Structure 1
Amino acid sequence: MSSGETIAVKVLATNSKQGEKEFQTEVTLLGRLHHRNLVNLVGYCTEKGQHMLIYVYMSKGSLASHLYHSQHKEPLNWDVRVHIALDVARGLEYLHDGAVPPVIHGDIKSSNILLDDLMKARVADFGLSRVEMVNKHAANLRGTIGYLDPEYISTGTFTKKSDVYSFGVLLFELIAARNPQ
C-alpha cells in the first residue's frame, strides 16, 4: 500500500462454498471486532461481481502449513506452540467475553490460525461466525469435520462450548501435529 504496509487480498471464487451471506458476516464482524489476536480487516471490495477482503498480511502463513507441510518450514518448538495456543485462547476469550454482543467463531481450526513474522497467532475466517444472541441454531451443519462439537452435531445449536471444543482439537494438533480430519 502507499503507506508501505503489506496486505493480503482474499478473493472469493465464484464457485466458492462461501457465499454472499458469509462474506457479509465476515465484513460486518471484522469491521467492529478489534483485538491483537484477530486478523485485521483493512477493507473490502464488492465491485463488478467480485468479492474481496483485504487484510494485514500474515507473513508466516497458517498454523496448518507449519504443522503439516514442515518440509518447507522449520518445525515449531514447544515454546512457540504454547504461545500460539495462548494467542488463540485470548482471541476466543475476546470473542466470547469481550465482544458486545458475544461472537461464536464456528470454524476454529489450524488453517484458520494465521501467524505473523514474530509467530504471533491471529484467528481468521469469520464467514461462519454468529453473533451469539441472534442465531444460535444452524439450519444445516457448518464447520469442518474433525473440529465439530458432538453436541452441535446432535442438536444443531451453536454455543461458546462449540468453539471451546474446537479449541481443544486445535490443542491436540499443536501437541501431536496430527490432523483430526
Structure 2
Amino acid sequence: MKRMFRLLPFLFVLVTVTACAQDNKKPSPPASTEFKSGAATIKINYSAPSVKGREIWGKLVPYGEVWRAGANEATTFETDKDIKVEGKTLPAGKYAFFTIPGEKEWTIIFNKTAKQWGAYSYKQADDVLRVTVKPAASASANEVLKYEGTKSSFSLLWEKLEVKVKIEG
C-alpha cells in the first residue's frame, strides 16, 4: 500500500504533462509571416488550418460569404507605413483581414476591427479597404494554409489555390 502512495505523485505529474502536451497540438496552429514592401514592414498573423482530405473551396469555405482567411481568430494584417493595395491606399495600421471567395473573383477586405473571433462579429461598415483579385491554381498543393509576401505582393496559398494581392510600399 505504501508503494502505491509513492507512485501517486509520479502518476499525477505524468497525467499533467500529457494533458499539457495535447493542448499544444492545435488543429489550426498560429502562424505568421513578415516581409518588406518598399519602406513598409508588413506582418500577417493567422491560424493555419489543414486540408485533411476535405473539399475546401465552395464547401468548407463557401463561395460568396465573408471568411476570416484562416481559422480561429480573424487573420490580422499590419503595416507600419501607408501602402497601395491593388492601386488603392491602405493607411498604416493593424486590420482584420477577410475575404469573400468566389470561383472567378475574390474580394479582399481590410477591416478596422483587428481583434475579432472569426467573422462572426464582422461589420462591413468597419471596412477600410476592399479590392478584388482573381484566384489562380498554385504551383503546388498546400496541405496547410500559408501566406507568403514579396516586395510587390502577398499571397494566400491553400489546397491547390493561390490568391495573389499586389502591393506597393
TM tier relative to shorter chain: under 0.3
User: Which of structures 1 and 2 has the bigger CA Rg?
Assistant: 2
Between Structure 1 and Structure 2, the one with more helix by share is: 1
Between Structure 1 and Structure 2, the one with more strand by share is: 2
